[in-house]
Every structure is written in structure tokens, then in C-alpha cells.
Amino acid sequence: MTLDSCSIDSRERIQGDGTRRSIEIIPEGCQAVSDDVCKSGYMAPAKNVTFPDNSMQQCCKCKEGDSCGECSDPNACTTEEKDKYVTTENCFGNKESTEESTEESTMDAYSDMLTRRENEGSTEGSTEGSTEKTSYTLYLIVCSVIMSILVGIFFMRRRPQPFY
């Protein structure tokens, strides 16, 4: 089960089969962070985001009853702002956020991102393909230079024949 009303980003993504989905976060996947990381004070680490695949960490909506930094007046959101930035869903996990747990979740998200990039690089085989292309290009250049030298020598050795 996932919740699609937890993420502050409400844009929908079109899937391969034509259906639309918004960002999905597991229940209690949003964790408390400082307001300078996410205005709402909550963020879902990458491991708690189930859609889209290989997602980065996502800022969550504000928790009902808390002040919301996304609203023009954080202590008094308008009805439109509440609809857009506040949720009553079961999105929120730990209530107390220590600096240590925030750093750990950020480091976990960062290491997940690096692992994904390394895996993408190793599955694509891009370095092997570029090495082969470079070798082939170098081979063509060397062959062209050798042929040019041989043709030059051939024409220089030819002497005009006298007319008898």
C-alpha cells in the first residue's frame, strides 16, 4: 500500500501504458526534518518513495495541526493552501527528529543515489563502447596516413620516360 497524497509535488507522470500516477510514498514514510530542508518540516527518503522508480528524496506535505511553511501565513493557511499543502493521511513517521537521524537519512539517500548511478553506468557499458569507437577511429587515421605516404612515394619514384 502506498499513499499518493503525501508528496508536496502533485504533478502526475505518464507511464508506458498511458496511465497517470503521482509520487507515491509508503505509509509513515515522511520523516521530520528541519524547515530549511523542506518547508513543511517533513521529507520522505528515497527508500520510502515507491513511484517513480529510482526517485530521490521528496518533500512531504504539512501535517494537519502543525504550522506550515508552504502557506503564505504558516500559522493560518487558507482553504486553497490547505487543499494543496496539508494532508490528514498516515504519511508521518517519527515525531521527534534528532540531528543524527536527519543526517543518517540524508546520507542514506545520498549513498542510494550513488549506488544507482554506479549500477546504471555498469549496465549501460558506455565506457566499453566509447573505447571501441576510439580504437576504430585511431586505426582509420593510422591507415590513412600510411596509405598517403605510400602513394606519395610511388608518384615520386616515377620518372618521366624520354620520347624516342
Q: Identify the pLDDT of residue 99.
A: 43
Distance from chain centroid for Cα 29: 19
Report CA-CA distances (Å) from 106 to 7, 37, 39, 49, 150.
17, 10, 16, 14, 64
Kindly report the pTM of this predicted structure.
Answer: 0.51
Contact in structure between 58 and 8 (CB atoms under 8 Å): yes
pLDDT digits (tens, 9 = 90+) for 66-81: 888 888 888 888 989 8
Q: Which has more confidence, 4 or 74?
A: 74
- Is 22 a residue whose pLDDT tops 60? yes
- Is 124 a residue whose pLDDT tops 60? no
pLDDT digits (tens, 9 = 90+) for 12-21: 777 778 788 8
Q: CB-based contacts of 84: which residues, under 8 Å, 6+ apart? A: 10, 70
> CA-to-CA distance for 62 and 141, rounded, in angstroms?
62
Contact in structure between 105 and 56 (CB atoms under 8 Å): no
- Crossing angle (nearest 10°) for helices 99-124 and 126-157: 40
> CA-to-CA distance for 118 and 121, rounded, in angstroms?
5
- Is 3 a residue whose pLDDT tops 70? no
Name the 3-class secondary structure at 39.
coil
Q: Identify the pLDDT of residue 143.
A: 92
Give buried/exposed letters for 47-84 (b at 16+ CB in 10 A, else e).
ebbbeeeebebbbbbbbeeeebebbeeeeebeeebbee
For residues 105, 27, 50 and 30, what is the CA-based torsion angle, rounded to 10 degrees? -30
β partners of residue 31: 43
Residue 47 DSSP class:
G
